[in-house]
Amino acid sequence: MDSFTDKELSLMEALAKGINEARNIEG
């Protein structure tokens, strides 16, 4: 299950957060 490192997980989390915020601004 631990195929991702903590750094990668936090990076993906930040990316997902940024996408959600961008969608909120657009919508």
- In this predicted model, what pLDDT tens digit does every residue of 1-27 receive, in sequence order? 678 999 999 999 999 999 999 999 987
At position 3, the amino acid (one-letter code) is S
Per-residue buried b or exposed e for 8-25, using 16+ beta carbons within 10 Å of the residue's own CB = eeeeeeeeeeeeeeeeee
Alpha-carbon distance of 10 to 25, in angstroms, equals 23
Q: What is the pTM of this model?
A: 0.63
| DSSP-assigned states of every residue in 3-15 | -S-HHHHHHHHHH
pLDDT at position 1 is 62
Alpha-carbon distance of 14 to 27, in angstroms, equals 20
